[in-house]
Chains A and B, each alone.
Chain A
Amino acid sequence: MQAKTIKNLALASALTLASSGAFAACSFNNDVQLKSLSSGFDAWKAVTGAMAECGNFTPTLDNDFKEKQPDAFAAKPALYQIGGVNNATLVPLLNADTVRALDDLVAKYGSHLQPSQLIKIDGKIMAVAMMVNNQHLMYRHDILADLGIAEPKTYQDVLAAAAKIKAAGVVDYPLGGTYMTGWNLGEEFVNMHLGFGGSLIGSGNQPAIDNAQGIATLEMMKSLTAYMDPEFLVSDSTYVQKQFQSGKIAMANLWASRAAAMNNAEESQVVGMVKMASAPVISETGIPASTLWWDGIVIASNISDAEAEAAFKVVMEGLDTEMVKANNDKAVWLISGYQPSAAAEGAIATAMNGAKPYAAGGPEGIMHGVLGSGLADYLTGKKDAATTLADIEAAYTSKAKEAGYL
């Protein structure tokens, strides 16, 4: 508590004044009250921050956005004009028809958008994507090099490397994993199951996980957890990222949007030691155990056309080259001006190796949910693999019936 504190205080308040007083880098002055609801990770902070420069815009960054968005957009008038979505959370909005087609607005204001940014459903532009994301391998190349281990390409390699690292005892746990019960754990299963060549849902929306691929997936997950922190069922992406940063783990399949954090000198003790690589493939199929995601923006349909136009103009300011240049490493952007750096290597390699897009849909959403809550019983040893899968399919069936899919 020195004089510096006072100076900081004064400085901070001066900054707040400055940023609210002038609309720094926005090409126009927005005079329509606008609100947005999106997820809260770094890339969204960057985009909504750029949008706020236009004035009269209040972003809501909420990690539980997917629980609020469908209702909020169904209200008349919609509670938010702008929504941040990804492949999965777009589905309920499309189903309820609460987001509008953007073709005319894109034609009018979106000439600078890349063609790959336009999410088209039956030929109509329903969303504008801004970034792609996937889970891929991050590893401590110093440790692996010391122990004479080559970059793991398959999950067999990963297990062999983990065994060696464990034997050498150089880190607390060889592996990290986003195995937190719920969405994270479900996502791990989906990645692995797709890698084994399975699919979640079969014809007629019937479940398709109680099969050889399902068993193989579960067994692989269990053998991986043997090398993880025993508290893996409560470890989410942030927890794994921190384990990496403090040098407690040597390898993990982690989101591309976390890559830049490894080299953040303020928090990480492993700056420059973490290398990004493709998600390991399943040797039987040669498919990487990962799924491709995108994040983007939608405009509500239950608002006036004037509001929609203003909202879209503000969105375009958020998704411009200037924003990307200032936040290059925070995501793998789709926006022109993005320069892929070392942080993006793993994400790109994963895609090049043939990882599949996350199959988004109503039944898949249900399956992801029941997987997330049903898998823990297997990993804690309460149920065997066959029972677990049968119970998950039963849970899926009753929920899908309720939702009208069966």
Chain B
Amino acid sequence: MKFKTFAWFVGPSLLMMLLFILAPLISVFWQSFNLTQPVMQTQMVETCTPGFITQICVTEEKTIPVLDDEGNMVTTTTFVGFDVYRELLQPEKAWQKITAGDWRGLLLIDFWGALRFTLTFTFITLPLVIGLGLGLAVAVNSLVKSLRGSVIFITLLPFIITPVIGALSIKWLFIGDGILTAALEWWLDKDIAMFAEAWTIEFLMLFYRVWHAAPFAFVVFYAGLQTINSDSLESAVIDGASRLQQLWYIVIPHLMPLIVFVSLIHLMDAYRVFEEIVGFSSQSHVISLQWLTYEFLVPDQAGNRSVSRASASAMLTMIGIIFLLIYPLRKTWKQYYGGNS
């Protein structure tokens, strides 16, 4: 294909991505090295507010931003190098904790705690999702044909329903005296509060993610199973391969590209875990990297946002995902040239 034709085909899609993904990304990169601050002045201000009975007026010193003639805030932008990253990573403090072997102390620094959770979340759910998806695909494939349609339908439900609603629907079963908590209490005969401790919340979040993501793995693998060449299986049967051997030597290698594909998608999605934190309100116990970014961005009640720290945290998140993707990407690279040559 000529370059010009190629450009015509790819152009619109590329334009959208450049405009709405690359452009914000560049601005985020720039902001992580620069600090934009309003210029402040201190002056006496008299404020009158309603008391319950009489008005209360106080005059006090307030720090307020300087405005220019058009009523906009005057701001200064300074290049601060890696200062913002240092603020976020707190390398001295972290190093001190590491050398002292105080891991709990290290994880109390927001960024490291978030990184810990994000990584454990990603790597615990990954094998569970792949395994459950594969198991389901093989199991459903062995059902009688008439049942398969309904089973696939039910299986897909956790994947298609709105994530926020899915998380809430699981939360409702457990929060306070939700029916499942009540059932557990009755069974174990003790008072249980699922949302009072870190490990129970983490468990619920892992459960939710596997519940939500496994159907996607399932449907992809199931589709892959339909393309398996029955000749190779039959020759394996003739060679006397056991079922496990068939699975190991024929089915899994056949599905390998799909397993890589699903892992890739899952790594990316699990690494930006966010909905679970909001849905299960876990921020008092565990936070994730994307949640950290989000929290820096949300203005507090006085309207202050930490844009620079949010940008730095976003850049670090991105560097992390690139590290995670290197291995599967190398596989794709080989497959890409293997597939086209």
Task: Provide the residues of chain B in CB contact with A230, threshold 8 Å.
Answer: 193, 196
CA distance A120 to B56 in the complex (A): 10
Q: Which residue of A lies closest to B303 (CB)?
A: A92
- Say if the beta carbon of B51 comes within 8 Å of chain A: yes
Task: Provide the residues of chain B in CB contact with A46, threshold 8 Å.
Answer: none
CA distance A180 to B195 in the complex (A): 12
* Stretch of A138-146, A263-271, A365-373 that contacts chain B: A365-373
CA distance A115 to B53 in the complex (A): 11
Mark interface residues in A212-240 (1 if CB within 8 Å of B CB, else 0): 00000000000000000111111000010
CA distance A292 to B71 in the complex (A): 31
- Say if the beta carbon of B35 comes within 8 Å of chain A: yes
CB of A376 within 8 A of CB of B306, answer no
- Say if the beta carbon of A129 comes within 8 Å of chain B: yes
CB of B67 within 8 A of CB of A97, answer yes
- Say if the beta carbon of B238 comes within 8 Å of chain A: no
Task: Provide the residues of chain B in CB contact with A95, threshold 8 Å.
Answer: 64-65, 73, 303
Mark interface residues in B181-211 (1 if CB within 8 Å of A CB, else 0): 0000000000001111010000000000000
CB of A129 within 8 A of CB of B285, answer no
CB of A119 within 8 A of CB of B50, answer yes
- Say if the beta carbon of A89 comes within 8 Å of chain B: yes
CB of B283 within 8 A of CB of A182, answer yes
- Say if the beta carbon of A165 comes within 8 Å of chain B: no
CB of A91 within 8 A of CB of B300, answer no
CA distance A230 to B175 in the complex (A): 11
CB of B50 within 8 A of CB of A129, answer yes
CA distance A95 to B67 in the complex (A): 9
CA distance A181 to B196 in the complex (A): 12
Mark interface residues in A335-372 (1 if CB within 8 Å of B CB, else 0): 00000000000011001100001001111111011000
CB of A361 within 8 A of CB of B51, answer no
CA distance A346 to B152 in the complex (A): 58
Given the known interface contacts A383-B108, A398-B87, the answer about A91 and B302 at a Cβ–Cβ threshold of 8 Å is yes
- Say if the beta carbon of B301 comes within 8 Å of chain A: yes
- Say if the beta carbon of A294 comes within 8 Å of chain B: yes
CB-contact partner of B285 in A232, A347, A376, under 8 A: A376
Minimum C-beta distance from A359 to chain B (A) = 9
Minimum C-beta distance from A8 to chain B (A) = 26
CA distance A231 to B53 in the complex (A): 38
CA distance A122 to B175 in the complex (A): 49
- Total interface residues on A, CB under 8 Å, equals 70
CB of B63 within 8 A of CB of A87, answer no
CA distance A182 to B230 in the complex (A): 58
Minimum C-beta distance from B289 to chain A (A) = 15
CB of A70 within 8 A of CB of B49, answer no
Given the known interface contacts A231-B195, A380-B198, the answer about A88 and B108 at a Cβ–Cβ threshold of 8 Å is no
Task: Provide the residues of chain B in CB contact with A360, threshold 8 Å.
Answer: 302
CB-contact partner of A362 in B37, B108, B304, under 8 A: B304
CA distance A182 to B300 in the complex (A): 10
CB-contact partner of B56 in A118, A334, A352, A357, under 8 A: A357
Task: Provide the residues of chain A in CB contact with B194, threshold 8 Å.
Answer: 231
CA distance A118 to B198 in the complex (A): 47
CB of B38 within 8 A of CB of A404, answer yes
- Say if the beta carbon of B284 comes within 8 Å of chain A: yes
CA distance A232 to B195 in the complex (A): 9
Mark interface residues in A293-322 (1 if CB within 8 Å of B CB, else 0): 010000001000000000000000000000
- Say if the beta carbon of B40 comes within 8 Å of chain A: yes
CB of B63 within 8 A of CB of A120, answer no
- Say if the beta carbon of A102 comes within 8 Å of chain B: no
Minimum C-beta distance from A315 to chain B (A) = 17
Given the known interface contacts A357-B56, A376-B285, the answer about A67 and B299 at a Cβ–Cβ threshold of 8 Å is yes
Within 8 A of B (CB), among A375-403: 376-377, 379-380, 382-383, 391, 398-399, 402-403
CA distance A181 to B45 in the complex (A): 33
CB of A67 within 8 A of CB of B298, answer yes
Q: Which of B50, B198, B309 has the most CB of A within 10 A?
A: B50
CB of B299 within 8 A of CB of A66, answer yes
Mark interface residues in A111-155 (1 if CB within 8 Å of B CB, else 0): 000011111111100000100100000000000000000000000
CB of A181 within 8 A of CB of B283, answer yes
Minimum C-beta distance from B37 to chain A (A) = 4
Given the known interface contacts A180-B281, A399-B306, A404-B37, the answer about A365 and B301 at a Cβ–Cβ threshold of 8 Å is yes
- Say if the beta carbon of A28 comes within 8 Å of chain B: no
CB of A121 within 8 A of CB of B304, answer no
Task: Provide the residues of chain B in CB contact with A403, threshold 8 Å.
Answer: 37-38, 304
CB-contact partner of B46 in A66, A115, A121, A368, under 8 A: A121
CB-contact partner of B309 in A231, A363, A373, A402, under 8 A: A402
Mark interface residues in A182-202 (1 if CB within 8 Å of B CB, else 0): 110000000000000000000
Minimum C-beta distance from A294 to chain B (A) = 5
CB-contact partner of A231 in B50, B56, B67, B193, under 8 A: B193
- Say if the beta carbon of B331 comes within 8 Å of chain A: no
CB of B49 within 8 A of CB of A119, answer yes
Task: Provide the residues of chain B in CB contact with A181, threshold 8 Å.
Answer: 281, 283-284
CA distance A292 to B53 in the complex (A): 12
- Say if the beta carbon of A96 comes within 8 Å of chain B: yes
- Say if the beta carbon of B55 comes within 8 Å of chain A: yes
CB of B285 within 8 A of CB of A380, answer yes
CA distance A377 to B302 in the complex (A): 24
Task: Provide the residues of chain B in CB contact with A115, threshold 8 Å.
Answer: 55
Given the known interface contacts A376-B285, A404-B40, the answer about A231 and B176 at a Cβ–Cβ threshold of 8 Å is yes
Not counting A351-B52, A363-B63, A405-B63, a sample of 12 additional A-B residue pairs whose C-beta atoms are within 8 angstroms of each other reads A92-B303, A95-B65, A116-B55, A120-B47, A181-B281, A230-B196, A234-B175, A234-B195, A366-B304, A377-B108, A391-B108, A403-B304
Query: Closest 3 CB pairs between A and B?
Result: A365-B302, A92-B303, A369-B300
Q: List 17 A-B contacts (CB under 8 A).
A: A89-B301, A96-B73, A115-B55, A116-B53, A118-B55, A120-B57, A229-B193, A230-B196, A231-B175, A233-B195, A234-B281, A360-B302, A365-B301, A369-B300, A376-B283, A379-B284, A398-B87
Interface residues of B (CB under 8 A from A): 35, 37-40, 45-57, 62-65, 67, 71, 73, 87, 104, 108, 175-176, 193-196, 198, 281, 283-285, 295, 298-304, 306, 308-309
